[in-house]
A and B are shown apart, each in its own frame.
Chain A
C-alpha cells in the first residue's frame, strides 16, 4: 500500500513537471522581438549603455508586466513595470520603470550613480531554471521625485533558446522560502532581426610566461565567441582555472592595424576550489570599444613587475587645458583625457586608455599639489556612444531627503588642476612576442 502511494506521488510529481513548463508558457504573455514598438525609456534620454538606439528596433519588444516588491534601499514598497525587453545572443536588456511610495534615497544627490543604485534589482529565471548570467550593468534616470526609469543589462553565458519563458520574481520571502509572486513572459524571436555581428570561434589558447617576477603561470583558455552588438563588443572566454593566479588574465587588446581597443570591463571570476588537480572552467568576458571593421584581434599579454616606484602623479593637467590631451606612458601605451566636467554632484573625467582603471585622477591646485581635503567617493563607468571611459568623483550625499555637498565653494575654487597617475606605465609591460591573434574573417 505504502509503495503504491509513493509511486502515485512520484508519478503525479513527474506529470506536474511535464505539464508545468508548457502551462507556464501557455499562460505567459508573448513579447515579440522586432515588433517596432517605441521604447519609452529612450524618449528624450540618451543611454550610455547603448551604442545606437536605432539598432534596437529589430531586437526589442513591448510588454506590460507590473508587480510590487520591497524596495532594496529601504524606501518601502516599489511598483515595477517592465515596458520593453531586448535580446541578443550576448545580452538580455530589460527596460522598466520603478515607482516608489516615498522618494528613494539618493546616495550621491542628483548624480546618475544615485539612480543606478536606486534602480530595484530584478530576479529573473529562465524556463523555471537559473538564468545563465555572467554580469550585469544598470543605469537609471528620474521623472519627478518618486519615479525612476531603469535599464538593466544581463550578459549571457549562452544565447536564450527560442520561445524562452522569462519569469520575474518579486521579493524572496525568507519565512515561506518562496518568492511572493512571479510573472512570466514568453520571448518570441521569430520576427527578430539582430544587428549583432557574432563570430563563434572556439579557439583554444595556451600561454606560459612569468607574469610576475619569479612566478611562471600556465594559462589555458578558449575564445568562445567575439561579438559586436548594440550593447557593446565582447569576447566571451572560458578560462581553465587551475588555482593560484591561472584564472586571471592580464592583456591588452589590439586590432589588425595595431590600434588599441580600450577595454572597459574585464571579468575575471575565479573558483576558490580550483587547483592544478581540480581545474574548473570559468565563463568570463572582456568588453571593449572598437574593432568592428577588424579582420582579426590581437591579445597582448601583460607582464607585471613588482611595484618599485611610488604611485605619485606623473602629470598635472590644468583644468582649462585644450582637451583632448594625450599623455604617453612609459610602457608604450597612452592615455587621452578628453575632458573634465565639474558639476553640483561631483566631477567627471572622460578619457580613453588601454584598460579602464589603468589611470588614476585626483583633484589638484594651481601648484599641482593634491587637494587632500576634498573628500569624494570614486566611481567608474563608461559611455558606449562616445567610446569613452568615465572616472567620477562624487561628493554629494543624502540626509533627510536633501542632497548635502561635502565640499565648500571655497574648497572647490582651488580645484584647478587634475593630477594624473598610472600604475600601468612602469609596472605593466606588454609582451608582444606572446601575442595571440584571433581571426574574425
Chain B
C-alpha cells in the first residue's frame, strides 16, 4: 500500500516516462540482444592500445591549460580566437612562502576577467605534502580523483609514512590594480604532489597588475610570517572585447525596481552581463522586503531557458547610492545579440517578477 502510494507520489512529481525514451531504450536493448560477439583482438595489440590510451590520457592531463580548466559553461563555448589570447612564460616576481612555491603557468585577460593557472609545488618534496585548504588530514589523499573522502590512504597516513608535514597552500587574497578583488576558483587538480589551481579575478582597463597574497602553512603549527608570500604579474588586455548597452532607466513594476544599467560585453572566452537596479520610489513595503532579501536576474535564451552561468560564486553588491550591482558571466557568443531577455526573481522563494526583453545597442553605434 505504501509502495503504491510512493509510486503515485513519484509519478506525480516526475511524470510519466517519455515515450521517446522508452522507444530508445527498447531499441537499444533489442540491438544489444542481436549483436554478434566481437572478434577478439590479439593480446599484444590490446595491450599496446591500452598503453597508448593511458599515455595519451596522462599526456593530456599534464598539458591541461587555463582554457581546458575553466568552468563548464565557459569551457564548452570558447571561440577559436580564445586560444590565441593565452599567454605563457609570464614574467613574475615572487616572495615564496617557506614551504611551497607558487608559479603562474598560463593566463588570459579579456578586459573583464583575468583567468590563470597557478601551480603550487612543495618547497621540499621530501618534507612537504601539499593539501588544498578545503581538505582535512583524515580525508583520502586521492579524494579529488575518486570523489570519496573516506576511502583510501589519508593525507595524515601518507604524510606520516613519508615523514612529511601537511601543508595547506592557497591564494589568501588578491589585488588587481591596487584594489582587493574576490578570487574565483574554476578548477583544482592534484598532480604529482603539486596543486594546480585555475583561478579568475575581475579586472578592468588595458592592463591588469595582479598581486596574489599567498599562504602555505603547516596545519599543526601556529602560522608565522614565513607562511606568507606574494606573487606579482601583469597581463595586457586582449583587444577582442565588444560591449553594448540597453536603454535605461526602465521600471520593473512587479519587482518594484528601477533598472538603471544593463551592459553586455563579449569576449572569445565569455559573455558578461552587468546589471544595476534600485528600489523604485513608489515600491510597496513587501517589495522593499524582497529587495532586502535579494532579487536576482537570469539571462534567458531564445527558447526562454536560463543561460548557464560560468560563475562558481555570485553576489549582489550593494552600491553607495542604495542600488545594487549584479555581474554574471556566461559562455561566449559569436555575435552581439540585438536584444536581451531578463527574468527577475526572489533568491530564496524563487518567486518570479518582471520578464523583459530589451534592445541592446553596440557601443560603436551609440
Contact = CB atoms under 8 A, between A and B. Distances in A.
Contact of A273 (B9, B219, B346): B219
A399 B293 CA distance: 11
A204 B258 CA distance: 64
B15 to A, nearest CB: 13
B10 A276 contact: no
A423 B6 CA distance: 14
Contact of A276 (B156, B289, B346): B156
A278 B137 contact: yes
A373 interface: yes
Given A375-B346, A404-B289, A406-B289, A275 B156 contact: yes
Interface string A397-427: 1111010111000000000000000000000
Nearest to A215: B150
A309 B346 contact: no
Given A276-B156, A310-B13, A375-B346, A243 B136 contact: yes
Contacts of A330: 2
A388 B10 CA distance: 32
Interface string A226-254: 00000000000000001111000000000
Contacts, number: 78
Contacts of A402: 285
A277 B220 CA distance: 12
Given A375-B348, A399-B288, A277 B160 contact: yes
B137 A275 contact: yes
Nearest to B289: A397
A23 B155 CA distance: 50
A312 interface: yes
A318 interface: no
B289 A399 contact: yes
Contacts of A215: 150
B156 A406 contact: no
A89 B344 CA distance: 54
Interface in A359-401: 373, 375, 397-400
B315 interface: no
Contacts of A39: none
B5 A275 contact: no
Contacts of A309: 6
B146 to A, nearest CB: 13
Contacts of B293: 397
Interface residues of B, number: 30
Interface string A72-102: 0000000000000000000000000000000
A126 interface: no
A2 to B, nearest CB: 26
Nearest to A425: B2
A244 B140 CA distance: 9
A341 interface: no
A274 B138 contact: yes
Contact of B150 (A244, A274, A313, A405): A244
Contact of A399 (B13, B154, B292): B292
Interface in B154-194: 154-157, 160
A314 B156 contact: no
A272 interface: yes
Contacts of B6: 309-310, 312, 314
B9 A375 contact: no
Given A314-B5, A375-B346, A404 B156 contact: no
Contacts of A404: 285-286, 288-289
Contacts of B292: 397, 399
Contacts of A398: 289
A243 B346 contact: no
Given A275-B154, A310-B13, A375-B348, A242 B286 contact: no
Contacts of B155: 275
A322 to B, nearest CB: 23
A277 B136 contact: no
Interface in B278-312: 285-286, 288-289, 292-293
A312 B285 CA distance: 34
Contact of A312 (B10, B138, B149, B220): B10
A317 to B, nearest CB: 15
Interface string A268-296: 00001111111000000000000000000
Contacts of B9: 310, 312-313
A395 to B, nearest CB: 10
B93 interface: no
Q: Which of A215, A312, A330 has the most CB of B within 10 A?
A: A312
A405 to B, nearest CB: 8
B351 interface: yes
B349 interface: yes
Contacts of B288: 399-400, 404
Contact of A242 (B2, B10, B138, B349): B138
Contacts of A272: 136
Given A272-B136, A273-B136, A399-B292, A243 B10 contact: no
Nearest to B138: A243
A245 B351 CA distance: 37
Contacts of B160: 277
Given A310-B10, A310-B13, A275 B289 contact: no
B156 A375 contact: no
A375 B350 CA distance: 9
A179 B320 CA distance: 31
A245 B150 contact: yes
Given A274-B136, A276-B154, A312-B9, 7 more contacts: A215-B150, A244-B138, A275-B136, A275-B138, A278-B220, A309-B6, A398-B289
Interface of A: 215, 242-245, 272-278, 309-310, 312-314, 330, 373, 375, 397-400, 402, 404-406
Q: Which 4 A-B pairs have the closest CB atoms?
A: A243-B138, A375-B349, A275-B156, A275-B137
13 contacts: A215-B150, A243-B154, A244-B138, A274-B136, A275-B156, A278-B220, A312-B10, A314-B2, A314-B6, A373-B351, A397-B292, A400-B288, A404-B289
